Structure 1
Amino acid sequence: MLQIKDVQSGYGDIRVLRGINLQLRQGEFVGLWGHNGMGKSTLMRTILGYLQAKSGSINFEGQDITGLPIHRRARLGIGLVPQGRAIFPHLSVMDNLRMGAVTTGGEREQIVMSVLKHFPRLNNYLDRAGGLLSGGEQQLLALARCLCARPKLMLLDEPTEGIQPSIISEMVDTLHEIRKETGLTLLLVEQNQAFIGSLADRVMTMQKGVLTNESSTSDFLKNTHAFS
């Protein structure tokens, strides 16, 4: 589904990504692990088009999207749940979800309701402003809003940061449900080894803008001592 070949990217004259090669198959959940400042979020932003690749290529479902603007990539089926969630704090939960479904071209209410069945916690707060939700509830809202755009590939950036364990567990269960139902493909950036291990089929490690290692989930957990 996604093929990244020798991509370099960064901010102005500062090069962050130093030749990234990565492939994702349809329906696969892949984890991207590494400490802060290693280039993980920069890779996400480059895939979606917030940053333009300085060299290399990005192909999505056989189409070269390296030079496409953000809205074209989104319409092809790439969605982002950004670090920090970036919900609309003054809009209600329902209106946040409707905003997510704007580009689908279908019946927005139907789409929103089909997503909400996976998020029973949000059903209790549909009329509440998004900014009044707890941090964990806002993360669920950001996840649901992205799904309302019906992405084929979801980019999920540091979703467990500051989130209570019960909601982290909900996110794991929900994403597995949605993969089973829709065939969703996921690229997950995360520092929580246990969370990445509970979702990913395989894990890539990034250091200083380079992917340095690929391992099975079991080997990753063993090597990082995520579980006792």
Structure 2
Amino acid sequence: MLDIKNVQSGYGDIRVLRGIDLHLSSGEFVGLWGHNGMGKSTLMRTILGYLPAKAGTISFEGQNITTLATHRRARMGIGLVPQGRAIFPHLSVLDNLRMGAVSSGHEREAIVESVLQHFPRLNNYLDRPGGLLSGGEQQLLALARCLCGQPKLMLLDEPTEGIQPSIIAEMVDTLHAIRKATGLTLLLVEQNQAFIGSLADRVLTMQKGVLINESSTRDFLNNTHAFSTA
């Protein structure tokens, strides 16, 4: 589904990604692990087009999207749940979801209703402003809003940061259920090793803008000390 070859990117003259090769198959859940400042979020922003690739190619479902506009990548089926959630705090939960489904036209309400089946907690707060939800509930809302855009590939950036354990467990169960129901593909950036281990089929480790290791989830969890300097 996603094929990245020798991608380099950064901010101005500062190069952050130094030649990334990454391949995701349809329906695969892949974890991307590493400490802050290693380039994980930069890679996410480059995949979606917020940052231009200075070298290399990005292909999605066989189509070269390296220079494609961000909104066109989104319409092709790439969705992002950014670090910090970035919901609309003054809009109700329901209107946040409708915003996520805005490109779906007359099917918008049906899509929102379908997504809400996976988020029973949010059904209790549909009329409440998103900004009045707890941090964990806002993260669930951000996930649900992204899914209302019907992505084939979800980019999920640091979703457990500052979230209570009960919501983290709920996110794990929800994402597994959605994967089973829709065949969703997921690229997960995370520092919480247990969370990655509960979702990912395999784990990539990033250090200083390059991928230095790929391992099975079992090996990653059994050898976390080996990545302590990653």
Matched, 1:122 2:122: yes
User: In structure 1, what is the equivalent of residue 94 of structure 2?
Assistant: 94
Deviates more, 1:148-157 or 1:98-107: 98-107
Taking the TM superposition and a 5 Å limit, the aligned residue runs for 1:33-112 are 33-112=33-112
User: In structure 1, what is the equivalent of residue 26 of structure 2?
Assistant: 26
Deviation at 1:99, TM superposition (A): 0.1
Cα 1:106–1:6, aligned 2, differ >3 Å: closer, same or farther? farther
The one-letter code sitting in structure 1 at the alignment partner of 2:215 is: S
Deviation at 1:103, TM superposition (A): 1.3
CA distance in 1, matches of 2:106, 2:71: 17
Deviation at 1:104, TM superposition (A): 2.2
| Percent of matched pairs sharing the same residue | 86
Describe the superposition over 1:4-55 as per-residue Cα deviations: whole angstroms up to 9, x where unpaired.
0000000000000000000000000000000000000000000000000000
CA distance in 2, matches of 1:200, 1:145: 22
CA distance in 2, matches of 1:26, 1:41: 21
User: In structure 1, what is the equivalent of residue 220 of structure 2?
Assistant: 220
CA distance in 2, matches of 1:198, 1:65: 31
Taking the TM superposition and a 5 Å limit, the aligned residue runs for 1:66-215 are 66-215=66-215
Gaps of 5+ in 1: none
Q: Equivalent residue of 1:50, what SS? A: coil
Deviation at 1:189, TM superposition (A): 0.0
Cα 1:216–1:75, aligned 2, differ >3 Å: closer, same or farther? same
Q: Equivalent residue of 1:46, what SS? A: helix
CA distance in 2, matches of 1:167, 1:9: 34
TM-score between the two structures when normalised by the length of structure 2: 0.97
Deviation at 1:106, TM superposition (A): 4.5
CA distance in 2, matches of 1:21, 1:153: 17
Deviation at 1:105, TM superposition (A): 3.4
Cα 1:22–1:58, aligned 2, differ >3 Å: closer, same or farther? same
Q: Equivalent residue of 2:142, what SS? A: helix
The one-letter code sitting in structure 2 at the alignment partner of 1:108 is: R
The one-letter code sitting in structure 2 at the alignment partner of 1:123 is: N
Describe the superposition over 1:33-85 as per-residue Cα deviations: whole angstroms up to 9, x where unpaired.
00000000000000000000000000000000000010000000000000000
The one-letter code sitting in structure 1 at the alignment partner of 2:166 is: S
Query: Would you say how many aligned residue pairs link Structure 1 and Structure 2?
Result: 226
CA distance in 2, matches of 1:179, 1:106: 25
Gaps of 5+ in 2: 226-230
Q: Equivalent residue of 2:8, what SS? A: strand
Describe the superposition over 1:93-126 as per-residue Cα deviations: whole angstroms up to 9, x where unpaired.
0000000001123411100000000000000000
CA distance in 1, matches of 2:222, 2:103: 42
CA RMSD of aligned residues (A): 1.0
Q: Equivalent residue of 1:45, what SS? A: helix
CA distance in 2, matches of 1:124, 1:66: 41
CA distance in 2, matches of 1:69, 1:89: 27
The one-letter code sitting in structure 1 at the alignment partner of 2:148 is: C
Describe the superposition over 1:177-211 as per-residue Cα deviations: whole angstroms up to 9, x where unpaired.
00000000000000000000000000000000000
The one-letter code sitting in structure 2 at the alignment partner of 1:146 is: C
